A and B are shown apart, each in its own frame.
Chain A
Amino acid sequence: MSESRKVLDEYDAFQLLEQAGIAVVPTKLVCSQEQLAEAAREIGFPLVCKISAAGLAHKTEIGGVKVGITDMAELQAAWDSIMEQALQASVPRQDIRGVLLQPMISGGTECIIGGMRNDSFGPVVMFGLGGVTAEVYQDVSFRLAPLRRIDAESMIADTSASVLLSGYRGAAKGDVEALADLLVAVGTLIAGNERILELDMNPVVVQQRKVAVLDAMLTVSC
């Protein structure tokens, strides 16, 4: 496959996911500092502020993500810091769209859900324990897309995420039903949309009564 690829900004990725019926965490794109206050009122504190820039795959590494922001002063400071560090990291000024505001979600099990188009297998879905250490532990499982409900359930059971989600050491159980629904939806999306080359939803936080997609990266062919 030698077609040209484009990494979609999180905001665009979220819009594509929402069109496919996949719920993501509420997200406001803020393009100027003047709009921060109104957007923050809509999202509510505490919140997360992330850089929004075209083609930027790893936001955390350049200091582009600030979490646990509790008031306007902190939010203003976060904006300044993110913009400064982005320019220091040589993110082209014209690529920076602004920031994304999202509610701060705490608790739950961090998982990763992925999709990709493999040269030999075609569309594939991945599930596992998420976060930045996903590649260290490789605690993931794969199935060919599209998925039946039973495939989604068995791929969850294949990883140690299933142990955490079943209420390990008194922790609250995770909403495995909603998680399985989400996996099926991702399978349908990647199987039905040949332009999608890679999809990372990481983290996907699984809580007792819901599943929240907190970040997504999509690579499409163009």
Chain B
Amino acid sequence: MDANLSFLFAPSGCAVFGASKDPRKAGHQIVKNILDSGYDAPVTPVSLKGDDVLGLAGYSDLADIPHQVELVVMSAPAASTPMFLYQLERRMEVQHDVKALIIAAAGFAEIGTEAGIGYQQALVDFCRRYSIRMIGPNCVGAVDVYEHFNATFIADIAMHPGGISVVSQSGAVGAWLLMNWRSSPAGRVGFSKFVTVGNMADVDIIEALEYVGNDERTRVMGLYIEGSPQARKLVETLGSIAERKPVVVLKVGRTEEGAQAAASHTGSLAGNDAVYDGALKQHGIIRVRTIEELSDTMRSCDTLPLPAGNRFFVLTQAGGPGIFCVDEMAGSGKFSAPVITQASKSKLRDVLPPIASICEPEGHADITAAATARQHVDALEVLLRDDGVDGVFFITVATLFLDLEEMAEGIVSLMEKLASEGISKPVIPVIISGNWVKPARAVLEKNEIPTFESPDRGVRAAANLIFYAESRRSGA
């Protein structure tokens, strides 16, 4: 089997079988996404009537397309599989240029009918015969931001380059993640590759992970998975990627998989989910529980430095959210309170309002609502320069008189200045809350500093960074 899946992400020419003029059809959205993503090789819509779609010349037969076609995206009903393969076969006998298929259509083996299973098998047999690689059926497709190629039918995603890559067993969960990113403060989150594997008739999740994990632009891998019959191989594959870059896994189905029937205590306690938990930890793989934690953790891994230790300072401008943060930190069991030097404490006293509460208790400063934008940034600088601090939770609540954007810009310049001096520590900004603070958060996010919706989300992301950093240090 050809291990090269590159034609799924960067084909020289592609066709959409089942293309449609109707904007409500997936066969329309796929053509639109490929065009909108700035793909510069030819795209050809193929349909029964050979309609033109979005100004592109349409054909009624794959075999008639005059230019090179390395990838075909199939979004016609499953029942058109025989026609699809008939056209594809004629193309392979003459032009023999197709290297990959994305079967976006549903109605195959996943519905369990004899016809559905038969159509899927026919696709697999065809691919084996011509050494073609296929994802799906029943998937939403693939994206490569750097190749300007979006072959999905997801309605609204931002093609912004970054270091995150995502492999998802579910198309819906993948779309959920990418569409959420659109509503983040900056309107986008940078990523590299995205692929959903659907029924895994040919390319399975392990192969997709191996391929995407080897992508040099991928700095962090995310995986959504419901389960795998080859759990050990899956975990070991993820573990070998985690030796090079962080891997974040959202594994669901926690309650469904019961333990195997067994006479022993061990057998009856060994539910698959409990074993996943241990196996992922053993291989230094970050396990998350929600889509939000998956997103927060991947973004943090992509853009923040790994902390050198677990001493995180809580710098808060408001009491309540600060306590919230401290509680979550304690609950995670991952943090210890930093003790900063007397010099740092006295510098904090110099830069902060007189009513500020400094290091009572250690590792915590409530700078109060009297603090100006400048004072926020100056206090952050004192903390980041202290060798006893590995990271900072920076919590502030919008007040009418606090210039949040000035504060955000101040943080950006501070981080640049410190980076130029070789000081690089994670800062977790939590700016509360809602639409009012979005412009300030956007300033940070456009400068590759992720912001967090709430202290608990920031704490979980930071705890995951600490876990990964520790597992790398211990050689796990």
Contacts and interface: CB of A to CB of B under 8 A. Distances in A.
B439 interface: no
A116 B268 CA distance: 10
Contacts of B277: 141-142
Contact of A198 (B266, B281, B282): B266
Contact of A199 (B266, B269, B272): B266
Nearest to B239: A144
Contact of A124 (B229, B265, B270, B474): B270
A129 B190 CA distance: 45
B269 A143 contact: no
Contacts of A141: 274, 277-278
Interface in A95-122: 112, 114-116, 118-122
Interface stretch (A73-81, A82-90, A132-140): A132-140
Contacts of A27: none
A151 interface: yes
Contacts of A126: 266, 269-270
A150 B272 contact: no
Contacts of B268: 135
B333 to A, nearest CB: 10
A138 B266 contact: no
B83 interface: no
Contacts of B266: 112, 114-116, 126, 198-200
Contact of B270 (A7, A57, A118): A118
A154 B281 contact: yes
B263 A219 contact: yes
Classify the secondary structure of A's interface with B.
strand
A219 B264 contact: yes
A125 to B, nearest CB: 9
Interface stretch (B24-32, B35-43, B69-77, B230-238): B230-238
A120 B269 contact: no
A138 B258 CA distance: 14
Contacts of A151: 282, 476
Given A143-B279, A144-B282, A150-B476, A119 B269 contact: no
Contact of B230 (A112, A120, A144, A150): A120
B41 to A, nearest CB: 41
A177 B275 CA distance: 24
Contacts of B282: 143-144, 151, 154
Interface string B66-97: 00000000000000000000000000000000
Contacts of B231: 118, 120-121
Interface in A9-47: none
B263 A135 contact: no
Interface in A177-194: none
A1 B475 CA distance: 35
A200 B264 CA distance: 6
A140 B274 contact: yes
A1 to B, nearest CB: 9
A142 B275 contact: yes
B278 A142 contact: yes
Contact of B265 (A134, A144, A154): A134
A202 interface: yes
Contact of B262 (A121, A144, A155, A198): A198
B263 A114 contact: no
A158 interface: yes
A118 B263 contact: no
A3 to B, nearest CB: 14
Contacts of B118: none
A116 B235 contact: no
A65 interface: no
A157 B474 CA distance: 15
B53 to A, nearest CB: 44
Nearest to A153: B474
Contacts of A134: 265, 269
B269 A135 contact: yes
B279 A121 contact: yes
B228 interface: yes
Contacts of B265: 112, 114, 134-135, 200, 202
B267 interface: yes
Contacts of A122: 232
Interface string A203-222: 00000000000000101000
Contact of A120 (B228, B263, B278, B475): B228
B6 interface: no
A154 B475 CA distance: 13
B332 interface: no
Contacts of A112: 265-266
Most-contacted residue by chain B among A121, A138, A140, A143 (CB, 10 A): A121
B232 A116 contact: no
Given A200-B266, A202-B265, A158 B278 contact: yes
B232 A121 contact: yes
A220 to B, nearest CB: 12
Given A119-B260, A120-B228, A150-B476, A198 B267 contact: yes
Interface of A: 7, 57, 112, 114-116, 118-122, 124, 126, 128, 134-135, 138, 140-144, 150-151, 154-155, 158, 198-200, 202, 217, 219
24 contacts: A114-B266, A114-B267, A115-B266, A116-B262, A116-B267, A118-B272, A120-B229, A120-B232, A121-B232, A121-B275, A121-B279, A128-B269, A134-B269, A135-B269, A141-B274, A141-B277, A143-B282, A144-B282, A155-B278, A158-B281, A198-B266, A200-B266, A217-B263, A219-B264
Interface of B: 228-232, 235, 260, 262-270, 272, 274-275, 277-279, 281-282, 474-476
Given A121-B232, A151-B282, 14 more contacts: A57-B264, A112-B265, A114-B270, A118-B270, A121-B279, A135-B268, A138-B274, A140-B269, A143-B279, A150-B474, A154-B476, A202-B265, A217-B264, A219-B263
Top 10 A-B pairs, shortest CB-CB distance: A114-B266, A142-B278, A120-B231, A198-B264, A200-B264, A142-B275, A121-B231, A126-B266, A121-B232, A143-B282
